[in-house]
């Protein structure tokens, strides 16, 4: 009987140790998950929802904020070297016909960093109007965007309706 009691006591201790270790592992996994989410989520920068589209004129002068008033517009910011931009550019190009059917203009702004290859231009041309800049100082600065990809949805009066870092944040899934 003493042997059985000793075995039960040892098993009880082992179960308690297992519970403590499992709780520590779960706590550590939650901390790691929070850290990963913080690393993956770009900061919320730029215009607040409800703001009016800022006055701008593209580098070559062939597009300005006045050209976009009167119809809804999506302004999308991309950059070469951005790991998430190719997938989001494909999604935007895939929805180009749908957006045009709803009367929504699409303007993509591509910041081409020196020393990087530009694989996004062919895809973004399928999505609508493409403006290429040599860095983040142009329209990205005008709109206050610091991370790419970024999407802004303006209504026909030029008021920011939605914004996000994924196309689905702005247009929903479709």
Q: Is the pLDDT of residue 135 over 90?
A: no
For the cut 90, the answer to whether the pLDDT of residue 3 exceeds it is no
Q: Report how far residue 117's alpha carbon sits from residue 171's, in angstroms, rounded to the nearest whole number.
A: 29
pLDDT in tens, 139-169: 888 999 888 899 999 999 999 999 998 999 8
SS3 category, 174: coil
Q: Measure Cα distances from 173 to 10, 91, 105 in Å.
A: 55, 10, 18
Q: For 15-63, what is each residue's pLDDT tens digit?
A: 999 999 999 999 998 888 877 766 665 566 788 999 999 998 876 667 8
The topology (CATH level 3) of 65-171 is Glutaredoxin (3.40.30)
């Amino acid at each position: 009987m003493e042997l059985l009691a000793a075995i039960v006591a040892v098993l009880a201790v082992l179960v308690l140790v297992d519970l403590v270790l499992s709780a520590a592992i779960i706590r550590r996994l939650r901390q790691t998950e929070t850290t990963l989410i913080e690393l993956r989520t770009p900061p919320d920068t730029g215009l607040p929802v409800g703001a009016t589209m800022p006055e701008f004129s593209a580098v070559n002068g062939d597009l300005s904020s006045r050209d976009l008033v009167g119809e809804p517009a999506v302004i999308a910011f991309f950059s070469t070297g951005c790991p998430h931009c190719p997938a989001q550019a494909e999604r935007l190009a895939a929805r180009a016909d749908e957006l045009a059917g709803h009367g929504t203009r699409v303007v993509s702004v591509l910041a081409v960093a020196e020393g990087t290859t530009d694989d996004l231009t062919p895809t973004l041309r399928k999505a609508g109007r493409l403006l290429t800049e040599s860095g983040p100082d142009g329209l990205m600065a005008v709109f206050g965007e610091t991370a790419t990809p970024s999407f802004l949805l303006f209504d026909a009066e030029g008021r920011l309706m939605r914004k996000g870092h994924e196309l689905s944040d702005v247009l929903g899934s479709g």
